[in-house]
Each structure stands twice: as C-alpha cells, then as structure tokens.
Structure 1
C-alpha cells in the first residue's frame, strides 16, 4: 500500500467516523448546555465542602452533568477547589466524571463501539472514582491539600471568567472586554459573548420558579450559547481525534499492535494488566482528550487489544502533557505528582476490574467487533434532523449579522491562512520542543527516582537478609545451647552409669576374691588347728 493510498484511506475512515457521530455530538453538546444552565457552579461549590461519600457521590453526579472538555473540567475543578470544595470531591470525583461519565461521550461510544462499552464506561468510571476517593480520603495527608490551595491562591493567574481557562494577556489572539470593574480577558470570542449575555441578564431571574426558568427564552438562548461554546472548545480535539484514528487505522499494521500489547498469554492477568498500562501511556502521549479519544479507542479495539485496556485508554484522557503541566501550575509539583499517579492507578485498576467483571458476565463482545453503529438509514435520518438543530443554534448564538460578516470574511481569512498556518506551525513546534524538554526532564527525574528506589530496595533487601540472619541466630542459639547442655548431661549420665557399673563389678570381684582367700587360707588353717588340737588331746 502506497503512502498516498494510506492517507486517502485514513481521511476516508476519519470522515466516516465523523459522519456516524455528527448527530450524537450535536445532541450531546445541546444536553450539556441545558444541564449547565440549570445547575449553577455556586450551588455545586456549596454542597461539596466535605469529603464524605455523600459529597463524593454528588460530585460524581455534577461532573457527569457538566462539560466533557478535559481542559474545562480541569479548570472547573480548580475553581471548585479554590472556593472551598474538598479535594476528594473536586479533584477526584468531579474532575474524573466531567470527562468520562458525560452524555456525549456515551453517545459517541455507543455509535462507534457498542452498548457494552457504554455500560463498561459507567461501571469502570465509578470504580475509578472509588479508587481516587479512597486515595484522596485516606492516603494523601490533609496538609498536601492546604499547601495546594495556598499555592493556587499565591500563583493565581488571569482566568477566563466563563470557562475558567488560563489566559495570557500578552498573547496576540487574546480577547478582551473593558468593564466597570476593569479589563476582562477571554480565551475565545464565544466566551466573551457568553460573558456579555450573562451580564445583561444577571439578576433578572433570581426569584423565578423552575417553571418560569424552563419557559424563559433568555435561559434557552444561554443554553444554545453554552452548547456552541462547547463546540468552540472541543472541535479541534474531536477533529484531531478522528484524523489520528483514521491515519493510525489505515497506516499502522495489526502486527505492530500485537507486538506492543503482546505481553503475556492472551486472556491472562498479565496480558490485561500490561495492556492497560500501555494503553494509558498511549492515551497520555496522544494529546487528544475526552470525546476525541473514542475513535482512537475503536482502532485499538479492532486491532485486538484487551477490552479492559480499551477502557483504560479512554480513562487516560486527563493525563495528557498540557493538563499535567496545568496541575503543576495550579497545585504545585507534589500535588501534581500525586494527582497524576492516582489517576494512572485508577485508570489501570478500573480497566482491569471492568474487564474481568464483564468477562464473568459474558458481556465482552467478540474481539475487534464494534456493533454499536446504527443502520445507515438511521444515521442519515438523524443527521438530517440534527443538522438543522445545529444551524439554528449557530443562528441564535451569533445572529445573522455576525454570520454574514463571517461568510464575507472567508476570502480574507483564506488569504491570511498561510501566514496563520506558519505561525501555528511555529507555535506548535515551540510547544512540542517545550513538551519534549518537559518530558525529558520528567524522564530524567523518573530515572533518578527509579535508581534511588532501586537502591533503596537493594538496601532494604540487604537489611532484610541481615535481619533474617540475626533472627536465625537469635532463635537458633538457645536451641543449640540447650542441645549442647543436654548432650553434656547425657554424657555425664552415661559416664556415671558406667562408673557405677564398674564399681559394682569390682565389688563383686573383691567379694569373690575374699571368699576364695578364705577357702584357700582360712579353711586349711582351721583344719590344721583342729588337727593340732586333736593331736594334743591324744
């Protein structure tokens, strides 16, 4: 297969996946807008102050009802943590659920992978939240959270008031707005528009009932703007996910994946465990987050990696380098390391657990088979229905004048496109170099830490060996002394017995000698005396 053919096949695969998931993305982002509009961030912060299991459950529920963008989830969790939410609720449950238990992710997974993966995503997601919550509640000390909150407040940066992303005020593409309280900075124009709409309607519906809010045209306009803001934040990740998945599926041979995930015999714990670890590492290196991971997960599944490893790959979206760097900037190096380590462990543990759970329930589909895609007729109908919905949302959010102005500016944008592409390539190159340096530094630190850990393990092993010898000596010395004493006592007893026996023998021999002497001496003497007496008498 030639390179051009592979590229064409990759583009075709990416376009086919985008076509199949288009309606689900429109529906998912619209539902996200509805939920974010009717559940305020202030209410969430107010009920997540403790790290009890009730608060963790609510944080998981709120996270599942929020945005699926990993960057937005990270910044929202940071805001909740800064406002007083507990680390277990904000940084563990809410942040993980915000990217892995959301509606649009489930819809895309159902279309590309099947309902089994959707069910596994929610079951494994709850397992991962449980692992994270246990670590945050019982393993990490409270002093770490206080230090992380102090670091966050001490190094507070300029934040987009709408999405919570960090904004560089000196950047060329920064969006600003002058207000009575000063200049506000935004990451994009849609956030600025959303902020203006919020300011215009602030305080107008604070006392409205739920019925009034549901019928409020203003609120539904904000729902539409929120949905478009989700598109604005995520479309690059989604497009990149489709392209990466398409090119990888078309150009990377199956044998390569078999070698990469071929640790251990198929079906064994080693096969699933190592596959899950490798999958999380690939997710971290893919630079694609949230919904954009699903097309890549489809490629991995079709190339025969374990079911649980596919889920671990999807759960690894919060470990991409830009987010790891954000953790470091927000909370400090120690807390960032704890977050990365705990999320890595949770992703692997959830993937392995859900693999064996679904295997025991016979819910794992045949290897490589993705059965969730609806028939083509349904896809066409759904796309025909939801494409006008998307166009209406664009019309309501931006208005006819802005849309017409954008269309008229297309030639000018096309003329500027090469320059922007060069600047983007230069910026991407600089970021890649920076990421490369960060990765190299991290690898050096990991290598140094691994060497120290290995040396510590060697010293611990040697100490354990010496301690074992000492314990052996301590335990066996009394036994040896007792055995020696017993041997001496037994020898003395034998000697006494032999001596007594010899004494008895000598006494018996002496008695025998006395009797023999009497027989040989006394008896003849007595006979002689008697004879003499007899002679005298005569």
Structure 2
C-alpha cells in the first residue's frame, strides 16, 4: 500500500505541477478554433501538393490535440474529398504541433524539446508525403475510402464533427469578445477536456508508477547509456515502441517522456516517443475499422519509419547546432504540493476554467456532451449551443 500511495502521490503532484499549463494550452487552442472554419479549407486538401500539405498542417495546428479526435477528423476530411496524404499530415500536425504540447514540453523537459517537436513535426510530414508518393497505391486508397464510408459511430466521431467556429465578419477582437465568440470558446474548451482527460489521467498514473517502482538503473541499461553511440542509435528505434505499449496518447505522454529522459533515452528517442501517440494499440485498431486492415498496417509501418527517421534527424540537427540538452533534469516532481508560483497560477487558471465551464452549461453544453457519448454526430453550427448567447 505504501508503494501504491507513493505512485499515486507522484502522479497527483505531477498533475498539479502542469495544471495551469494545460488550461492555458486548451484556452489558446479554443480561441484559435473559434475563428477558423474547418469546412472553408477542406477544398484545399484535394491532393498532396506542398500547398495542400501546408493547409492540412495549418488546420491541424488550429485543431484538437486529442489523438482520437484527430484520427476521427482526418477520416472526415478524407471522406469529404481531402487526399489521404493530406489527411495524415493533418493528424501529425494536430497532435504534435499544437500549443498545449509545446507549453507542456517546455515546462517539464525544457525549451529544447519544444523546439525539437516543432522542427521534427514538419520533417515527419515531409517524410510521409515522400513515402506516400512512392509507396501508396490508388487501389489501396480506394479500398480505404470504401471502408471509411461504412461509418463508425462513437464519441470521437461526435467530437470531430463539431465546428464551433464563429461565422461572420468583424475584427479578430470583436469576434472573440462577442457573445457567440465567448460561447464558442467555452464549448470547445470543455469538449476538448471531455475528449482527452482520460488520456492525461492515464499518462500521469503510468508516469507515477514508473517513477515510483522502476529503478533508474533499469532505464539506464534498457537505453544502453553505457555506450553513447549505441544509445543515440537505439533511442529513436525503441522510443515509439515504448509509446505503443504504454497506451498513452497526445499530451498525456509528456510526463512519461520526462521519466524516460531522466532514465537515459536519447534526445531523438524522446522526440520519436512523443510522435508515436498516433500508433498506440487502440488507435491502430481504429485505423483498422476506419480504413481496413491493409491500410492500417500501411499507416503503422510508414508512421513508425518516419518517426524513427525524424528522431535521428532532430538528434543530428540539434547536435550540429549545439542545442542538445546536456543535463537530464526533466521535472518529475516530488510527491508534494507547496504554496509557490505554481499554486497561484493554478488558482488563477482554475478560475478562468470555471468561468468557461459555467458558460458552457448555461448555453446548452450538456446536449453536446451527450452527443460525444455516442449519439449521432451533427454539425455543431446547426446545434443550439453554437449560436446561443
């Protein structure tokens, strides 16, 4: 019981340490999503040209950080006419180039990891585009499209189908401060949390267990820290595999990445590990249901390959520029909560979150949460909550 309590206490302390950063990230994400209409740019994603991939990446950056929602929305874009390559570029950007991920990486691991993620993400998108141009066959895409048309209802389908962006003209500030703008931000904020809180909780629990129960010597041996060259080569290869079996997706894997970094995994291995939220076992099963077994295997293989290569390239680039962190001092916090700047930041952002949650429920939010729970998905622009004031 003492060991269990120690793991839970570490998980709780880590959650408290990152709470304000999570709220800030989701607020910023909601603000961005409130002024971007997804439907307006779907027509730009019809091929795998640089312009289409850039548009897909931009849409991903402005979208959800939830891996499950990103996968579901990518399927929706594919069904509406986006090329399969553009849909996959959207997925990568949506889960690896979002604001909340960058904030959390800087907070727990350091600014170098945030920069690495925003360098490695575009590298992975380019690698995917090249691989798909060479390897992806039209027949496989056609089979995947037929499979995707069969439909698969679920909570992430409802989440992905929602477009809460504010329509109409006016300045950026006017749209955000309008009643509709505040309502849209509150709905997106709450639905993002509803979609991803389990992943964050699981990530924290796994992190607490590993930090409390697994000796540091095990990680040092596993990541071959005794041989620096082998460690650099081994890290990007094994990083994604650790992510696959840990079941942790999206930003929920950042606390675990901190444990792995302190344990000796290479810099490139951490980058590859964080990328691998798109090939964890539950999401691989979703690919199978969405696109069929052959396309699921194709996605898994090409994603893994590009994650490994991106990890190597980031390692090489940062080593050449002298930016690779020299100290392994990621913040895996002790099992305590103190009155410091983190506590005051948490209180301030919890007040902001409470304001958004109250507005969410006052503007018809419960019906949208029920829809996310598995009821038929509809366009939120037709939902009463989207226009409520």
Above 0.5 in TM-score?
yes
1:368-420 superposed Cα distances (whole Å, 9 cap, x missing partner):
223799x97432332122110011111111139999xxxxxxxxxxxxxxxxx
Contact kept, 8 Å, 2:26 with 2:100, in 1: the verdict is yes
SS at match of 1:163: helix
CA distance in 2 between counterparts of 1:351 and 1:66 reads 24
Q: Does the aligned pair in 1 maintain the 2:204–2:252 contact within 8 Å?
A: yes
Whole-angstrom CA distance in 2 between matches of 1:254 and 1:372 = 13
Question: In the alignment, which of 332, 344, 350 is matched to residue 292 of structure 2?
Answer: 332
The answer for the alignment partner of 1:267 in structure 2 is 228
Match of 2:99 in 1: 103
* 2:358 pairs with 1:395: yes
Query: Are 2:7 and 2:208, in contact at CA under 8 Å, matched by a contact in 1?
Result: yes
- Equivalence map 1:290-369=2 (5 Å): 290-369=250-329
* Structure 2 counterpart of 1:156: 151
Q: CA–CA distance in 2 between the matches of 1:96 and 1:332?
A: 20
Report deviation, 1:78. 0.5
Is structure 2 residue 19 aligned with structure 1 residue 9? Answer: no
**Aligned match of 1:209:** 170
Q: Which has the higher contact order (CA 8 A, sep 6+)?
A: 2
Secondary structure at 1:288's aligned position in 2?
coil
* 1:470-512 CA-partner distances (Å, limit 9, x unpaired): xxxxxxxxxxxxxxxxxxxxxxxxxxxxxxxxxxxxxxxxxxx
* Alpha-carbon distance, 1:228 to partner: 0.5
Task: Note the 1:70-81 alignment, pairs <5 A.
Answer: 70-81=67-78
In structure 2, how many angstroms separate the alpha carbons of the residues matched to 1:84 and 1:60? Answer: 16
Residue 85 of structure 1 is matched in structure 2 by 82
Contact 1:273 1:348 survives alignment (8 Å) = no
Highest CA radius of gyration, 1 or 2?
1
Deviation by residue 1:231-271 (Cα, 9 ceiling, x = unmatched)? 111111101111110110111011211222228x6321x43
Question: Which residue of structure 1 lines up, in the alignment, with residue 375 of structure 2?
Answer: none
How far 1:47 moved relative to its partner? 1.3
In structure 2, relative to structure 1, the CA distance for the partners of 1:219 and 1:361 (3 Å cut) is: same
Q: Distance in 1 between matches of 2:154 and 2:171?
A: 31
2:302 aligned counterpart, secondary structure: helix
Partner of 1:482: none
Q: What CA RMSD, in Å, does the superposition of the two structures yield over aligned residues?
A: 2.5
Q: 28, 37, 40: which one pairs with 1:40?
A: 37
Q: Rate the CA distance shift 1:83–1:249 in 2: closer, same or farther, 3 A.
A: same
Cross-structure match for 1:386? 349
* Alignment partner of 1:59 out of 56, 59, 63: 56
Shift of 1:121: 0.8
* Pair 17,372 (structure 1): closer, same or farther in 2 beyond 3 Å: closer
Tell me the SS of whatever aligns to 1:84. coil
- Is 1:241 matched up with 2:238? no
Q: Secondary structure at the match of 1:85?
A: coil
User: Which ranges of structure 1 fall in alignment gaps of 5 or more residues?
Assistant: 166-193, 404-538
User: SS of the counterpart of 2:181?
Assistant: helix
Structure 2: gaps spanning 5 or more residues: 367-389
> Per the alignment, in what secondary structure is the counterpart of residue 39 of structure 1?
coil
CA distance in 2, matches of 1:335, 1:147: 8
Q: d(CA) in 2 for partners of 1:40 and 1:15? A: 37
Q: Secondary structure at the match of 1:24?
A: helix
- TM norm structure 1: 0.63
In the alignment, what sits opposite 1:22? 19
Change (3 A) 1:295 1:371: closer
- Residue correspondence of structure 1 range 168-187 to structure 2 within 5 A: none
Shift of 1:164: 3.6
1:333-482 map, 5 Å = 333-370=293-330, 377-399=340-362
Query: Is 1:50 equivalent to 2:47 in the alignment?
Result: yes
